Amino acid sequence: MALTRTKDRVLAADLPAHKNERVLVEGWVHAIRKFGAVNFLILRDRSGMAQVILEPDQMQRLEGMQAETVVRVTGTVDEEERAAHGVEVRNADVEVLTPVTDVLPFEINKRVLKPSLDVFLNHAPVGLRYPSKQATFRLYSDLLRGFGEYLRARDFTEIHTPKIFGSATESGANVFVLDYFGKTGYLTQSPQLYKQIMVGVFERVYEIGPAFRAEEHYTARHLNEFNSLDAEMGFIDGVDQVLDLLIGVLEHMVTAMAERRPADLEALKVRLPVFGDVPRISFREAQQIILDEHGESRFHEPDFSPQDERWVSQWALREHGTDFCFVTHFPTVKRAFYTMPDPEDPEHSFGFDLLFRGQELVSGAQRIHNHAQLVETMQNRGMSLEPFEGYLEAFKFGLPPHGGFAIGSERLLMRLLEADNIRETTLFPRDVNRLIP
């Protein structure tokens, strides 16, 4: 006879507040441990684990059931210091809500997940239930929460911009092309153009949304679809205001996450980053540091290599005691057309990167805000103005000095957890080889 819900559900983590009470708990069968007359059911819900003592007649109801069977249990909460949360559920009645009879593709109730990354990702709908994976993406959720929280408190307005463009506006070679009702459409690489347009509406805007890069990367740090954390602000006096905003939002994201999720941080052994006084050096200063410390001349290079990023980060940690380093004034020709050149050194720009633990985490810049200068820059680069008519209209009718940045959220989580591969910190990665699940 099926049990009926006659009381409110209690989560596993809340059981200590209900000692000596008869409660109802629901969740997944994480494990069953048989010891003759005493049998333990480990039930998992969104808050953690609950230990349930099952008599032989109740064990029969689970006969043939595999891990991940969904159950409802009613029983009395008693103290048991060896159990999770210091309590267990006794005198229990169990009802199977959703039976599972197939063997799982791999065990998720062991201390260590054994499948390779590819096997795990092939079965992510099951693998993501593993407790450490749950902890990983709870931290991710709170990082994103902190991003919007910090910016809203500073009068930023959240926006949501199109992800399908009618033209390959930023870089035609690296965009995904799609059939849009018989017309050619493109998946956006970034909300950048719309962010700038919206500075003319709200002055300060931010967005959390997907971005797409059609680049054949086979690295541990790149994806073809990722969630970008974008912000843009108007009426700035210079790029330093953008750097101040960026380090402020990152510090809040990490601090707020740590305050909300201490158990997950402990479970994953997360080493929180050191912020401190983050240095701000130019691209040429960074190249000089590399030459002085490692004897390698990089002055002929227009950008950093992965090794360069590691070397500059090591210098920042040693000399400034921080896990971060701003590098500004990248060569203008290697930055997007809307990046403001330094008037005192036009070959270098107000474009910047933020390095975090040896990798580029954020790119940003002060932007060109003058319509005539922007048009001239585009023409000098051989760009057609027609696809940008809507974008340029915002400048034609007045935009203030402005700048902003984009954070790769999965890469932030990857570096925070010091994972080896960005696919470990992405729910359902999309790369050159993976379109499912």
CATH number where 346 lies: 3.30.930.10
Would you say residue 345 lies in a domain? Answer: yes
The set of long-range contacts for 245-248, using a CB threshold of 8 Å and a minimum separation of 24, is 245/154, 245/405, 246/354, 246/362, 246/364, 246/405, 246/407, 247/275, 247/278, 247/324, 247/326, 247/354, 248/150
> Whose CA is closest to 126, among 142, 140, 115?
115
- pLDDT(135) > 70: yes
**What's the whole-number mean pLDDT along residues 281-305?**
95
> Is residue 93 domain-shared with residue 235, that is, in the same domain?
no
Q: What mean pLDDT comes out for the span 26-47?
A: 91
The dihedrals phi and psi of 95, each to the nearest 5 degrees, come to -125, 130
User: Once rounded to an integer, what is the mean pLDDT over residues 84-109?
Assistant: 94
Nearest Cα to Cα of residue 260 among 154, 135, 365, 353: 135
Confidence of residue 34 (pLDDT cuts 50, 70, 90): confident
Res. 368: pLDDT tops 80: yes
Question: How confident is the prediction for the chain on average, in pLDDT?
Answer: 94
Q: Which residue has the tokens 């060109």?
A: 368
Please indicate, yes or no, whether residues 238 and 381 belong to a single structural domain of this protein: yes
Residues pairing with 196 in the sheet: none
Is 424's pLDDT higher than 90?
yes
pLDDT-above-70 percentage for the chain: 97
Task: Clarify whether residues 79 and 203 are in a common domain.
Answer: no
Count: domains in the chain: 2
**Could you tell me if 38 and 187 lie in one domain?**
no
Say which CATH number the domain at 44 has.
2.40.50.140
Q: 241-254, pLDDT tens digit by residue? A: 999 999 999 999 99
Does the pTM exceed 0.85?
yes
120 is a domain residue: no
- Which of 78, 98, 118 is the last residue before a domain boundary? 98
Q: Which residue has the higher pLDDT, 217 or 88?
A: 88
> pLDDT grade, residue 2 (50/70/90)?
low
Q: Closest Cα partner for 201 from 386, 400, 24, 51?
A: 400
Write down the pLDDT at residue 81: 87
Residues 50 and 133 in one domain: no
Q: Are 133 and 94 within one domain?
A: no
Statement to judge: residues 38 and 152 lie in one domain: no
Same domain, 269 and 137: yes
What is the Cα Rg of the chain in Å? 27
Question: Are 64 and 18 members of one domain?
Answer: yes
Longest dimension (CA), the chain: 84
Same domain, residue pair 89 and 141: no
The reported pLDDT for the residue numbered 1 is 47
**What's the domain range around 190?**
126-425
DSSP string, 57-86: HHHGGGTTPPTT-EEEEEEEEEE-TTSGGG
pLDDT at res. 4:
57
Same-domain pairing of 83 and 170: no
Shared domain for 221 and 76, answered yes or no, is no
Residue 208, domain member (yes or no): yes
Residue 430: band (very low, low, confident or very high) from pLDDT cuts 50, 70, 90: very high
Query: Considering the domain boundaries, does residue 112 fall inside one?
Result: no
* Domain limit, last residue, from 62, 80, 98: 98
Residue 431 within a domain: no
Under a CB-based contact definition with an 8 Å cutoff, are residues 87 and 68 in contact?
Answer: no
> Which long-range contacts (C-beta less than 8 Å, at least 24 apart) are formed by 105-114?
107/67, 108/67, 108/68, 109/30, 109/31, 109/42, 109/67
Q: Is residue 116 part of a domain?
A: no
Asked if residue 435 is part of any domain, the answer here is no
pLDDT digits (tens, 9 = 90+) for 156-199: 999 999 999 988 766 556 899 999 999 999 999 999 999 999 99
